[in-house]
Amino acid sequence: MTERFDGRVAIVTGAAGGMGRAIATRFAAEGAAVLLADRAAAGAEAAEAICADGGWAVFEQVDVADAADVSRMVARAMTELGGLHCAVNAAAIEGESGPLADLEDEEFDRIMAVNVRSVFLCMKHELRAMRAAGAGGAIVNIASTNSYRPQPRQAAYTASKHAVLGLTRAAAIDYARHEIRINAICPGAIDTPMLRDAISRRGGDESAVLDRLTLGGRFGQPDEIAAAALWLCSDEASFTIGHALAVDGGYLAR
């Protein structure tokens, strides 16, 4: 591994598993000090694994839809890790199994809180910290191919991921002059517990899902999202601002 992020501090939300854990692990392997944030206590084990491999990581148990929790998360990165240079807001949920008219109000509110309110709150506090430090920075929000092409029986999730792109682009315009670059990744069918749960819940067949959602005949891997996230946070992407990068096995090209 290179040391592209040596001396830098990164926050990754949704870091207990899936794409978030892969991103946090990759940041640490490339030299960053990483704050892993998640509501699930399994994030502590993820941080311990990073440290066991020689990286520098801490875990903060956070409800990303709670303003006080998010403020505390960013403050800890600033004080304990020494700053904030990169942030990847990856926390998200998906739990629908029916059309919009059958969606419970509470489920809609829950999805919007975790997927949209959290991105707003995280960016709000991350941007304040980066702006105050005056050294620029990079933020990546995890959106979805649903941001462009809705899937059946995913009205709330689709709406939430459209909103993530809107927040990303609006903030990118506002903060480019502060040398803070804000971009998004739109993952396709990535082999995570959330994807496997969605397939099971909807009674889907894996081969049919692969045929419908990819051109490459396989699911993407979390580390492929990590590679994209780290590139967007790196100096190699210094002229990339307000972009939504699809990592989707060709799905949106179809």
Residues involved in catalysis: 157
Does residue 38 contact residue 25 with C-beta atoms inside 8 Å?
no
Say which residues have a Cβ less than 8 Å from residue 154's Cβ, sequence separation at least 6: 94, 96, 146
Q: Which two tokens stand for residue 58?
A: 């801490």
Q: How far is CA 143 from the centre of its chain?
A: 7
Amino acid identity of residue 254, one-letter, is R
Q: Which two tokens stand for residue 226?
A: 């990590």
Does residue 229 contact residue 23 with C-beta atoms inside 8 Å?
yes
Q: Which residue has the tokens 């096995």?
A: 249
CA-closest candidate to residue 60, choices 81, 80, 32, 39: 39
Does residue 80 contact residue 2 with C-beta atoms inside 8 Å?
no
Rg of the chain, C-alpha, whole Å: 17
Distance CA 178, CA 137 (A): 9
Element containing residue 56 per DSSP (H, E) = strand 56-61
* SS3 label, residue 205: coil
